Chain A
Amino acid sequence: ETGVTQTPRHLVMGMTNKKSLKCEQHLGHNAMYWYKQSAKKPLELMFVYSLEERVENNSVPSRFSPECPNSSHLFLHLHTLQPEDSALYLCASSHRTGREQYFGPGTRLTVT
């Protein structure tokens, strides 16, 4: 595997389910990010991790819970989501924060 990978690529979940999105980067980077991309809205930065420590949380609802166990892996734990949370969730990594980011293929999430 090369670059940034994300699993699953598609996810349909009910409002009461709990699921997790996984991101893995094979680039030796020290910073990882979660973005949300909704239809007709700009990319929204959700979380930033640098050297496995969270450095930014842009007022994201608590039903989204990130986890970064090491510099190569990033998770987004989901619980009791709302239909408006349906979106493309993109993971990215960079050498360090504020530098060029490399994006994964995204997880298309549908909340029913």
Chain B
Amino acid sequence: ELKVEQNPLFLSMQEGKNYTIYCNYSTTSDRLYWYRQDPGKSLESLFVLLSNGAVKQEGRLMASLDTKARLSTLHITAAVHDLSATYFCAADDSGGGADGLTFGKGTHLIIQP
């Protein structure tokens, strides 16, 4: 059974600082996803990481994937208040299969002025 663990689950940081959210998964997975959720809203897709060593960047967010370590990271550079949200990582079983994605518990990020 695929399990996905994120840490930290809660993060309060100041604007301008850098930080990293970690996502570990338990079994082989060939795709790793990052989503953002604002309070009371739905999930918005941020990144899809498809292979070992993949790195994607959008603005102040950068995501990477190490399939050998079964680890993905979401790095925040020079945080701004607008990035406050809950961030989820999700993985699927290798080869796709019939299952939906397995999500982590989410990281609740608060960025303070």
Please report A residues at the B interface, Cβ cutoff 8 Å. Answer: 33, 35, 41-43, 45, 48, 50, 55-56, 90, 92, 96-106, 108
Give the residue name and chain of the A residue nearest to B35 (CB). A103
| Stretch from B13-21, B60-68, B76-84, B89-97 contacting the other chain | B89-97
Instruction: Say yes or no for B105: interface residue by CB 8 A criterion.
Output: yes
Contact B99 A98 (CB under 8 A): yes
Chain B interfacial residues counted at CB < 8 A: 26
Residue among B48, B97, B99, B103 making CB contact with A100, cutoff 8 Å = B48
Residues of A within 8 A of B105 (CB): 41-42
Could you name 16 residue pairs across A and B whose Cβ atoms are closer than 8 Å? A41-B105, A42-B103, A42-B106, A43-B88, A45-B99, A56-B99, A96-B96, A98-B31, A98-B92, A98-B95, A98-B99, A98-B101, A99-B96, A103-B43, A106-B41, A106-B42
Q: Which residue in B31, B43, B106 is a CB contact (below 8 Å) of A99? A: B31
Closest chain-A Cβ to B74's Cβ sits at a distance in Å of 16
Interface residues, chain B, CB within 8 Å of chain A? 31, 33, 35, 40-45, 48, 88, 90, 92-93, 95-106
Contact A55 B42 (CB under 8 A): no
A56 touches B42 (CB 8 A): no
Q: Which of A33, A41, A100, A105 contacts B41 (CB 8 A)?
A: A105
Assembly CA distance A77 to B61 (angstroms): 39
Instruction: Known A42-B104, A42-B105; judge A98-B96 contact (CB<8 A).
Output: yes
Pick the residue among A45, A104, A106, A108 that contacts B100 (CB under 8 A).
A45
